[in-house]
Amino acid sequence: MAKAPWFKKLGDWMKILSRYVSPSLLATSLVLLITVFVLFVPPYVGMADNGDYFRILYSNGLYFNTPDYDSLYFGYFNKEFGIFQYFNENASMYTSSQALLIRVSIWINQLFNQQVFDIRVQAVLLTLMYTGAVYLFVEALTWRMKPKYGYIVAVLAVFLFADTAYTAFFNSFFGESIVWIMLTYLFASGLLLFRKRYSDYGMMVIFFISGLLLTTSKQQNAPVGIIIAVMGIILIFVRKQRSFRLMMASSLALLMIAGIATYVLIPKEFVNVNKYHAMTRGILMQSEDPEKTLESFGINRQYAILRGTIHYEPYTTVDVNSQILEDSFYNHYGFVSILSYYLAHPDQAGKIMNLAAKSAFTIRPPAMGNYEKSVGKPFGAQTKFFSVYSQLKRALAPKTFGFIIIWMLVIIGLYAPHFVAAIKAKHVRSMTRLPLMLMMMFMGLSGIFVSIIGAGDADLAKHEFLFTAAFDLVTFAAVADAICRNLWQNKPEADHEP
Amino acid sequence: MRRNFHICIGLLVLLMSGVIYPASVQAATPSSFDSVLIVYDSLGIGSRQEGNVEALKRLLAAFQVQVTTESIDSYKPGMLANYSKLIEVHNRSDLAEEDSEYLTDLQSYQGDFLYIGGMPRDKLVRSLGLQIQEVEKIADLTIGPFVEKSIRLRTVFDSEQPGVRKYGALQLQNVSYPYGIQQGALAYVPFMEKDTLSEIALSYILKDWLRQAQDSHNYLVFKEIYPFSDLSLLERMSDELYDAGIPFIVSVHPVFSNTDYPAMKRYINSLKYVQSRHGTVLVEAPFVATIRDDGRDLYRQMEHFIDVLAAEGVVPLGMGADMFWTYDDYFSAEGMAFFDSVVLFPDTRQIYKAKRNRSEAFSSSVYSVDPLFIQRYLLDRHLFESLPMDTAFTLDFVHDDSELDHLMQGLKDSWIRFEDYKKGDHRVKTANNELTSERGLLVLNGVSLGTQASHVETSSDYEYKQQEKKSFETWFTVQNKIFIIIILITLFVFSGFLIIGYRMYKRKFYK
């Protein structure tokens, strides 16, 4: 059948285009353009503070310098903060890679202004990092693919990566921005290793650094380091040189240590808040008989009265950090005992998983506004600009845990034949793609599990960001591979690695 | 004649209405209490004087006065004219005093005046005949049955003037100087530090200066009682105190949600048991986690808790709160409005929502003190005398039996005579309930309440999760089964086709 003339013309046009702009460059340029427009052209888009800024701000030498800051909570984005001009007694309260980013941003900001920190300095840094991540990711999916497919993937990538639900985080002190960028780098570098696009050593460095920054960005990402370390074992064997294998193995070991360290270094106050929710908003919420459940943990059954309560209630029966809770409540359970409880009560685990799935497809937490107060938008108004993807996802994704299982099975099913073929061909590099997909999916799942085990159903939409991000990247990779005919068509050959 | 008759009838009606409809007791209105203005030059942060203004505020609250606090720097001209009682606290000795609006107004001030500090005003020096000496010596302070050893002094004073009343003694080797002095509207003390005997010593002077003559009472108060405290231990403690003839108060933490749970029933039953053993229940202020209340209504929450208690026959007679609650517009209006009686604890963690410099006064306000603090200065436990104001000896609820045994022994050995809080007049009022105490009886909505109660076992049976309403349940169950069968058959057929297809493919291409 003859091709339509317009289709032929499109093909010719793409051939010309491909001489000057690769699909990855096209996607990156468009994402950069839209992001710059959103973040740096008035009205600026950012995220309102939900009360979490305090700890990251004060521990890094910043303070709230807006007189009516209390009125901005949840409603309005605020871009300027004061820089401490004297000794900061709150320093080192909080340790994370996000703190590192903020300190670098403050240092750059101080070259221009010593007193006032403009959050857009941090947004510039993040945008630059993001540009690199998007480029590498699209390159990993479109390299050596037919231009017509490559450009389709590039255009689709713009819809995902320029979505303001993701980029608005750059103008905020939420750790989600660094999680999103580092997750993209991590996945992209893994895929580029698989595609053998750039120097393996270079990609290994990116894989390690992004994994490290991702693991240490938030306390709840502690399992991420362990997942990367385990699922990344196959990457050690991509090359036969001992130096490469040694370096890769050391990187993975370091990531494992970073994961454990992040878990151990969590300040106690946060543990208490989350521990409280893990019981009151998790186990007790789902239990048919909370008193019996408490007794199974060795806790006084009277604590059933705390069922469903949240720490953020303004007026409460008990201080979440009080000695009585410490002695007779928190001391009786931990991450492992809660996990064991859910394993022993799969019906309750199933219920809370479904509850978790309801918020698992929301990128932008619904509570926080995106505009500055001076813009004149209503309290809590969120931007609709370039957020088709996030809105469609929120509206259309089936919000049950069953769907998440089916999604995982489909992804595994799509990539398994290639993996089996790679095993048959004994081509280690080709084997890496499925483990990479699994690594991303497990990281996403860890986001859900850690949220539930760590804090019950409190703040689910925000705690599950890691899942929603991993879901988007994996789904996008699968769609792109399907478009580029890269799922089953490229059969692995025998290993000829150096 | 006819006119006089009408006047008599009118008076009679007024009198009757006073009898039948007594004035409603909300938190007392400001006008019904004396007002005192505290003016200070510095809060003495980081010095020995730090916290003395707070301690003074708490002492004054125990004398049922409304307190306004103002620093000299923020003093507004003419303010003094609104007060008939003034306390000046001078904490700073490092800087020379500058002219200020306050000093100008003080010149013409004619009301009662108490000065705390090393450099009393000339007017006081003249009127009280003060002879002040600067010293750098160590002395022992004694007042009533109390003594504090080795206090460092900077100044001492004395007065030969007839008619002055001297308080306490500062013993310097062989010479003795008074700690405080008062005559009519004027009074002077050279220093006051928080958590030292000078805090207690000042209360003796305050009582006379405020012209308060009523007897004071001692109460035993237990804090840190939660619904998840060891309730059987609480009941045992009530029994032991009852057997020892010691009336007591429990300040209990409120519960705002899940008040229909069995756990709440057990909490209430234990409080009823406490009531039956001469215990009185006070509602403790809730823990303020944040001032962002997102529409949560403290008034409704407190009212709900009081009503839940009242519905089960538990009669709280007042509130236990940190003092800062009385200096907050929101907390006093929304959280304390139900009560006319309070026990004010020292602030452990101040978190204001609508801070103000004026306090809310209550018709019964008890000064809370740690028994160890009193014990520290008591010369001999047999010599204990009541402090000048109503005093709550406040203890945390015990953790185990051995602590309880130790506590009971201490109380039995103590010479403090504790009063039954119910013997005073206290009133708690919500929209639905009026809870009062009259001559030792608890009255709920006008009906005297029997407090007999015994230990009650509460069943754990409760439907925590409401069953969702299901419609067409059978229909969907049958439908599910049919679908499962269809899917299984389809899978079977599909597998069959797959095998047949594979065999055909092999036969065709692998011959």
The domain limits of chain B are 30-209, 218-449
pLDDT at B26: 40
Cβ pair A77, A46 in contact under 8 A:
yes
pLDDT at B294: 62
How far apart (Å, rounded) are the C-alpha atoms in residues B142 and B144?
A: 7
B388 inside 8 A of chain A by CB? no
CATH architecture entry for B30-209: 3-Layer(aba) Sandwich (3.40)
pLDDT at B16: 40
Contacts with B257 from chain A: Cβ below 8 Å: 308-309
What is the band of B17 on the pLDDT scale with cuts at 50, 70, 90?
A: very low
Cβ pair A160, A141 in contact under 8 A:
no
Q: Tens digit of pLDDT for each residue in A336-359?
A: 899 899 999 998 888 888 888 888
Complete DSSP assignment for B194-262: TTSHHHHHHHHHHHHHTT------EEEEEEEE-TTS-HHHHHHHHHHHHHTT--EEEEE----S-TTSH
Contacts with B292 from chain A: Cβ below 8 Å: 51, 70, 73, 314
pLDDT at B452: 75
Helix (H) and strand (E) counts for chain A? 23, 4
pLDDT at B29: 42
Shortest Cα–Cα distance, A332 to chain B (Å): 15
Query: Which ranges in A51-146 belong to alpha helices (H)?
Result: 53-59, 97-112, 119-142
Q: Tens digit of pLDDT for each residue in B139-185?
A: 999 999 999 999 998 889 999 999 999 999 999 888 899 999 999 99
Instruction: Specify the fold of B218-449.
Output: TIM Barrel (3.20.20)
Supply the mean pLDDT for chain A: 88
Q: Is this complex scored with an ipTM above 0.95?
A: no
Whether residue B228 and residue A306 make contact (CB cut-off 8 A), yes or no, is: yes
The mean per-residue pLDDT over the stretch B305-314 comes to 95
How far apart (Å, rounded) are the C-alpha atoms in residues B313 and B444?
A: 8
Whether residue A316 and residue B287 make contact (CB cut-off 8 A), yes or no, is: yes
Whether residue A317 and residue B253 make contact (CB cut-off 8 A), yes or no, is: yes
A9-13, A378-382, A426-430, B491-495: the lowest-pLDDT one: A9-13
Whether residue A302 and residue B227 make contact (CB cut-off 8 A), yes or no, is: yes
Whether omega before A498 lies within 30 degrees of 0, making that bond cis, reads no
**CB atoms near residue A74 (< 10 Å):** 16
The mean per-residue pLDDT over the stretch B202-211 comes to 96
Query: Which ranges in A265-398 belong to alpha helices (H)?
Result: 268-277, 284-286, 290-296, 323-328, 335-344, 346-359, 388-396
Cβ pair B278, B252 in contact under 8 A:
no
A230-244, A409-423, B96-110: the lowest-pLDDT one: B96-110
pLDDT exceeds 50 at position A199? yes
What is the band of B8 on the pLDDT scale with cuts at 50, 70, 90?
A: very low
What is the band of B14 on the pLDDT scale with cuts at 50, 70, 90?
A: very low
pLDDT exceeds 90 at position A469? yes
pLDDT exceeds 50 at position B404? yes
Per-domain residue ranges of chain A: 18-266+382-483, 268-336
Contacts with B290 from chain A: Cβ below 8 Å: 51, 312, 314
What is the band of B24 on the pLDDT scale with cuts at 50, 70, 90?
A: very low
pLDDT exceeds 60 at position A143? yes
The mean per-residue pLDDT over the stretch B488-495 comes to 92
Cβ pair B165, B132 in contact under 8 A:
no
pTM as predicted: 0.78
A340 inside 8 A of chain B by CB? no
Contacts with A315 from chain B: Cβ below 8 Å: 256, 286-289, 293, 296, 298, 301
pLDDT exceeds 50 at position B11? no
Share of chain A above pLDDT 90, in %: 53
Which of A315, A321, A327, A379 is best to mutate for the B interface (most B CBs within 10 A)? Answer: A315
Return the percent helix, strand and coil in chain B, to nearest 5: 35, 25, 35
Nearest to A430 by CA among A416, A410, A412: A416
How far apart (Å, rounded) are the C-alpha atoms in residues A325 and A4?
A: 73
pLDDT at A189: 96
A290 inside 8 A of chain B by CB? yes
The mean per-residue pLDDT over the stretch A7-34 comes to 85
A288 inside 8 A of chain B by CB? yes
Whether residue B292 and residue A314 make contact (CB cut-off 8 A), yes or no, is: yes
How far apart (Å, rounded) are the C-alpha atoms in residues A187 and A133?
A: 9
**CA nearest A273 in B: which residue?**
B289
Contacts with A347 from chain B: Cβ below 8 Å: none
B295 inside 8 A of chain A by CB? no
pLDDT at B439: 85
pLDDT at B15: 38
How far apart (Å, rounded) are the C-alpha atoms in residues B406 and B92?
A: 44
CA dihedral A353, A355, A360, A361 (to 10 degrees): 130
A17 or B105: whose pLDDT is higher?
B105
Cβ neighbours of residue A374 closer than 8 Å, sequence gap 6 or more: none
Question: Among the ranges B40-49, B293-302, B447-456, which has the highest mean pLDDT value?
Answer: B40-49
pLDDT at B224: 94
pLDDT exceeds 70 at position A266? no
Cβ pair B368, B377 in contact under 8 A:
no
